[in-house]
Amino acid sequence: MRPKHRRKKRKIAALGLAVLVLAAAAFVVGSVFYATVDLPEALDDDLSQGSTVYYSDGTTVMGELAAEKRTSVDLDEIADDVENAVVAAEDANFHKHPGVDAKGVLRAIVNNLKGGDQQGASTLTQQYVGLVADIRGDGSYLRKAREAAMAMKMEEEFTKDEILNHYLNIVYFGRGAYGVEAAAQEFFGLSAAELSTSQSALLVAQIKSPDGPYDPRDPYGQGGNVEEATERWEYVLDQMVATGRLEAVKRDAITALPETLDPTNDPEGLGPEGFITNGFVLRELAEAGIGTDEVLRGGFDIVTTLDADLQELAVERTGIREVAAEDENMAAALTALEPGTGAVLAYYGGENGAGLDLAADVGHRPGTSFNTVVLAAALEFGIDLWSPEFDGSSPRRFETYVDDQGEQIDLVNIGGAQDHEVSLADAAAQKLDTPVYDVAEDIGGDLIAQTAAALGVDRMWNPHDVDEHGVAAEIDPAEPHEVHPDIGIGAYPITTLDAAVMHGTLASNGTVAEPYFVATVNGPEGELYQAEPESDQDMVDPGTAAEAASHMHMNAAEAALSVESGRVVDLDVAVNASATWHTGFATGLSLAVWAGDEKKEGDGSSHEGTIAERIWWQVMDGRSDKYRWSPEEADAAFAEEQRAKEETEEEEQPPAGESVDTEEAPETSDTEEATTQPTEPTVEEQSESPTDEETGLGWFGGDDD
């Protein structure tokens, strides 16, 4: 029998030989692979190609994203603390490894096998070549091998300082800034050479997740906050101490997160279109899986839904931009979109496109422009809109209409108008608050709010729930909130974006469409994204939508016939208004305009002659033919309306031999009925309920003329 120790030695020798053979094979394979990998031809080019945002025609440029935010500087023009911070936080062994950190790789493998957070162990050199070769998005092991080979080759051709300089000139820090010079200007308004230790650490903190949790200003709405920014900033500073790049005493003296510039106060300003380019575009693409970083450096062609001509008309030719300039308490907002699809066609949320969006983020009290919702809710409740059974006198008192002390107060119609016996439809057309409030109190505020939600209103603000700063609580109108009946007279603020969606629903006979701004995105390799409009045809009954909007056609006819400019009656135009709002629709176009005093939202004295009215009609009168009925369509509508009326008259004729009631109410023209706002209590008016055919054909409530 052979001794056991001899057998053991032979096994070890055999194992050693096998390892050598495998190692030799791996070396040969690795050498061949290494030889086939080349460095990118351009080390700093094509990394921050800005994306271009176009109007819907695909040729008219709306804006650029990050095209200008990159400036290369030499290493001696960058503060030493930036270099120290980036090495300490991103690659502590940068000056020791040959492009790949073997210890870091082993540490990452062990951590990943143990189920810890996934770690890539990429050195600064690997990160750099991965960016310039545009392979950072590939998570495969082959990508990591290519990246490692490139990194080692780069270390053979460039010094550590040159590599660090290249890296700091191309890495993305957030806010559209590529390279430390652009980032220093964007975050602090300083050059890279002027940055303090604290500022350097906060900039380097952004590299891990640019435009993410570590930007305390959170300019793109990606969830950044002071707490997470502080935690990452402190980590960078502590790493600088741990790697000997910052004295502990100096570190202890740094206690407060450095103040950054507020991007909403950008002195250059983004202009009105900034809300679209830097807001809705980035958010919609992020929801589609295309991150902000990709957009800002990907060289994409982004085509929006915005109509260039309509936007130019709405923003540049109506005077909407001058509203706030003439009075610091005044402001204005506008949204136009396509009914049925939700494609936004024109948009104005204010002058500073990086600031507070007055069209989507701020609610404004709609006043009497909201009465259409009450009509829709009343129909759902079973109330006849055309029966003259409501009291439109003014002033009136109601059990729930009270002051801060709970005492009942007078509710007065606009301009003191009144009509003792009026239908709900005529009350809405005449802007009579008292009968509308009467109905709202009867059917309840929650039903009206939920009807608004069904029509497409996503957000409201409760004027009866205000914090110590005077800010009203935001509510979801689809949920029960014990909403006050004054919602019926427009006391609950809404946005112009939601108002446009709501009127788009009415225009499309009940189809609720989700608003969207991005149509397509094309990258260097082809199409990346195409919008799929979201709509719901089951939220609102088509008949309810048409009948609730019928009074708006009366208003449009009244407006057309009352001006001296010769405006003709457009059958397809419908409009509603208050002292600060003008809303409505035409063929393929839903338009909501708000303009008023930010402090008091208008005096409520009239819905006529307002700034909002002027802007709305300028857009509607100047709209292109694509948003109008053709002459053939108009003629067909007139003919169909006449046919429907004749059929109705025939059905109402009594059978032969039956007596006929000869008492008839005096004839009243459309215009007279729509414009009359009697001030004497003796006036009585009646209007017949339209047929189903008429409510879908632009019915005005009277004769054809």
For residue 359, which of 306, 396, 286 has the smallest C-alpha distance?
A: 306
Q: Are 578 and 366 in contact (CB under 8 A)?
A: yes
Alpha-carbon gap, residue 478 to 432, rounded angstroms:
26
Model confidence pLDDT, tens digit, residues 570-609: 778 999 999 999 999 999 999 999 999 877 766 566 788 8
pLDDT above 80: residue 375: yes
Answer yes or no: is 603 within a domain. no
Over the chain, what is the mean pLDDT? 81
pLDDT above 60: residue 278: yes
Count of CB atoms situated within 10 Å of the CB of 231: 12
Find the mean pLDDT for residues 415-436: 92
Alpha-carbon gap, residue 39 to 157, rounded angstroms:
10
Answer yes or no: is 97 within a domain. yes
Query: What is the signed CA dihedral for 508, 512, 518, 521, rounded to 10 degrees?
Result: -90
pLDDT for 649:
59
Q: How many domains does the chain have?
A: 1
Model confidence pLDDT, tens digit, residues 526-549: 999 999 999 998 889 999 999 999
How many percent of the chain have pLDDT more than 70? 75
pLDDT for 447:
97
pLDDT for 237:
97
Answer yes or no: is 544 within a domain. no
Instruction: Identify the sign of the CA torsion 604, 605, 608, 614.
Output: negative
Q: Are 580 and 596 in contact (CB under 8 A)?
A: yes
Model confidence pLDDT, tens digit, residues 482-526: 999 999 999 999 999 999 999 999 999 999 999 999 999 999 889
pLDDT for 139:
45
Q: What's the length of the chain? A: 705
576: β partners: 583
CATH number at residue 85: 1.10.3810.10
In angstroms, the first-to-last Cα distance of the chain is 122
Alpha-carbon gap, residue 553 to 61, rounded angstroms:
36
Cα–Cα–Cα angle for 507, 508, 511, nearest 5°?
130
Answer yes or no: is 659 within a domain. no
pLDDT for 640:
67
Query: What b/e string do you get for 644-658 counting C-beta neighbours within 10 Å, with b at 16 or more?
Result: bbeeeeeeeeeeeee
Answer yes or no: is 256 within a domain. yes
Alpha-carbon gap, residue 697 to 60, rounded angstroms:
36
pLDDT band of residue 103 (cuts 50, 70, 90) is low
For residue 491, which of 468, 464, 470, 458 has the smallest C-alpha distance?
A: 464
Alpha-carbon gap, residue 543 to 553, rounded angstroms:
15
Alpha-carbon gap, residue 565 to 575, rounded angstroms:
18
Alpha-carbon gap, residue 276 to 354, rounded angstroms:
10
Q: Which amino acid is at 223?
A: G
Q: What DSSP line would sit under 37-81, residue for residue?
A: ----S-SSTTSSBPEEEE-TTSSSEEEEESSS-B----GGGS-HH
Find the mean pLDDT for residues 350-366: 93
Model confidence pLDDT, tens digit, residues 385-396: 999 999 999 999
CA atoms within a 13 Å half-sphere pointing along the CA-CB vector of 497:
23
Q: Are 174 and 69 in contact (CB under 8 A)?
A: no
Alpha-carbon gap, residue 663 to 366, rounded angstroms:
41
Find the mean pLDDT for residues 442-448: 97
Instruction: Identify the sign of the CA torsion 240, 246, 247, 251.
Output: negative
Find the mean pLDDT for residues 184-188: 93
Q: Among 172-176, 441-445, 497-501, 519-523, which stretch is predicted with the lowest mean pLDDT?
A: 172-176
pLDDT for 137:
43
pLDDT for 556:
82
Answer yes or no: is 146 within a domain. yes
Answer yes or no: is 631 within a domain. no
Count of CB atoms situated within 10 Å of the CB of 496: 31
Looking at beta carbons, which pairs linking 103-108 to residues 24 or more positions away fall under 8 Å? none
pLDDT for 65:
84
Model confidence pLDDT, tens digit, residues 653-704: 555 555 444 343 333 333 333 333 333 333 333 344 444 434 333 332 333 3
pLDDT for 66:
63
Domain enclosing residue 101, as ranges: 74-265
Model confidence pLDDT, tens digit, residues 195-211: 999 999 999 999 999 98
Answer yes or no: is 159 within a domain. yes
Alpha-carbon gap, residue 61 to 168, rounded angstroms:
31
Alpha-carbon gap, residue 644 to 660, rounded angstroms:
23
pLDDT for 692:
42
pTM: 0.67
Q: Are 205 and 233 in contact (CB under 8 A)?
A: yes
Q: Judging by beta carbons within 10 Å of its beta carbon (0-12, 13-18, 19+), is residue 18 exposed, middle or buried? A: exposed
pLDDT for 656:
52
Q: Give Dmax over CA atoms of the chain in angstroms.
A: 134
Alpha-carbon gap, residue 236 to 92, rounded angstroms:
11
Model confidence pLDDT, tens digit, residues 287-322: 999 988 888 778 899 999 999 999 999 999 999 999
pLDDT above 70: residue 19: no
Q: Torsions phi, psi of 185, nearest 5? A: -70, -40
